[in-house]
Homo-oligomer: A and B are copies of this chain.
Amino acid sequence: MQVSIIVIGDELLIGQVTDTNSGFLARTMAPEGWEVRDIKTVADNGGAIRQAIEEAMEVSDVVLTTGGLGPTKDDITKPLLCEIFGGELKEDPSVTANINEVFRKRGIRMNALTAAQAWVPTSAKVIQNRVGTAPILWFERTAPKKVVVAMPGVPFETEHVFVREVFPRLLEAFPRHDALAHRTVMVSDISESALAMRLSDWEENLPANLHLAYLPKPGLIRLRLDAHGDDMQTLDRQIETYAQELIELCGDNFLYYGDRTPAEILLEALGEKGLTAATAESCTGGNIAHLITSVPGSSAVMTGGVVAYSNEVKRRILGVREETLAEYGAVSIPVVEQMARGACKATGADIAMATSGIAGPGGGTEEKPVGTVCIAAATSSGRVRSETFHFPGNRLRVIDRASTTALLMALKLIRQSEPFYVTEPDKGKQREQQ
Q: Which of A153-168 contact B (CB under 8 A)?
A: 154, 156, 159
Given contacts A191-B108, A304-B310, contact A38 B40 (CB under 8 A): yes
Label chain A's interface by main secondary structure. mixed
Residue on B nearest A31 in the bound complex, by CB: B14
Tell yes or no: A285 within 8 A of B by CB: yes
Of residues A48, A309, A348, which shows the largest number of chain B Cβ atoms within 10 Å of its Cβ?
A309
Tell yes or no: A346 within 8 A of B by CB: yes
Q: Which of A192-245 contact B (CB under 8 A)?
A: 192-194, 196-197, 200, 213-216, 222, 224
Chain A interfacial residues counted at CB < 8 A = 104
CA distance A12 to B14 in the complex (A): 20
Q: What residues of chain B lie closer than 8 Å to A362, measured between beta carbons?
A: 296-297
Q: Is the CB of B72 within 8 A of A196?
A: yes
CA distance A10 to B287 in the complex (A): 29
Q: Mark A320-364, 1 if CB is under 8 A from B, else 0.
A: 000000000000000000000000001110000000000011110
Residue on B nearest A303 in the bound complex, by CB: B310
Tell yes or no: A393 within 8 A of B by CB: yes
Tell yes or no: A293 within 8 A of B by CB: yes
Residue on B nearest A7 in the bound complex, by CB: B39
Not counting A296-B361, A305-B306, a sample of 20 additional A-B residue pairs whose C-beta atoms are within 8 angstroms of each other reads: A11-B215, A14-B27, A16-B224, A17-B215, A18-B20, A38-B43, A114-B193, A156-B393, A281-B286, A285-B290, A286-B292, A286-B293, A294-B395, A302-B309, A304-B307, A304-B309, A307-B307, A312-B347, A316-B346, A317-B346
Tell yes or no: A135 within 8 A of B by CB: no
Q: Is the CB of B113 within 8 A of A193?
A: yes
Residue on B nearest A301 in the bound complex, by CB: B309
Tell yes or no: A139 within 8 A of B by CB: no
Q: What residues of chain B lie closer than 8 Å to A156, measured between beta carbons?
A: 392-394, 397
Tell yes or no: A419 within 8 A of B by CB: no
The 7 closest A-B pairs by CB, nearest first: A285-B293, A286-B289, A15-B26, A15-B27, A304-B313, A286-B286, A305-B307
Q: Is the CB of A38 within 8 A of B36?
A: no
Q: What residues of chain B lie closer than 8 Å to A72, measured between beta carbons?
A: 192-193, 196, 214
Q: Mark A83-111, 1 if CB is under 8 A from B, else 0.
A: 00000000000000000000000101001
CA distance A294 to B214 in the complex (A): 28
CA distance A307 to B278 in the complex (A): 9
Q: What residues of chain B lie closer than 8 Å to A306, measured between beta carbons?
A: 304-307, 317
Number of copies: 2
Q: What residues of chain B lie closer than 8 Å to A279, measured between beta carbons?
A: 286, 307
Q: What residues of chain B lie closer than 8 Å to A360, measured between beta carbons?
A: 296
- Residue from the list B20, B193, B293 in contact with A307, Cβ < 8 A: B293
Given contacts A30-B14, A310-B347, contact A294 B285 (CB under 8 A): yes
Q: Is the CB of B26 within 8 A of A112?
A: no
Q: Is the CB of A14 within 8 A of B26?
A: yes
CA distance A52 to B41 in the complex (A): 13
Q: How far is the CB of A282 from chain B (nearest CB, A)?
A: 9
- Residue from the list B39, B299, B348 in contact with A12, Cβ < 8 A: B39
Q: Is the CB of A294 within 8 A of B112?
A: no
Q: What residues of chain B lie closer than 8 Å to A35, measured between beta carbons?
A: 13
Tell yes or no: A384 within 8 A of B by CB: no
Q: Is the CB of B23 within 8 A of A213?
A: no
Q: Is the CB of B309 within 8 A of A293?
A: yes
Q: How far is the CB of A434 from chain B (nearest CB, A)?
A: 11
- Residue from the list B27, B154, B346 in contact with A16, Cβ < 8 A: B27
Tell yes or no: A267 within 8 A of B by CB: no
Q: How far is the CB of A108 from chain B (nearest CB, A)?
A: 6
Q: Mark A38-80, 1 if CB is under 8 A from B, else 0.
A: 1111111000100010000000000000000011110000000
Q: What residues of chain B lie closer than 8 Å to A253, measured between beta carbons?
A: none
Q: Is the CB of A194 within 8 A of B111?
A: yes
Tell yes or no: A269 within 8 A of B by CB: no
Tell yes or no: A136 within 8 A of B by CB: no
Q: What residues of chain B lie closer than 8 Å to A288, measured between beta carbons?
A: 286
- Residue from the list B23, B52, B287, B310 in contact with A286, Cβ < 8 A: B287
Tell yes or no: A171 within 8 A of B by CB: no
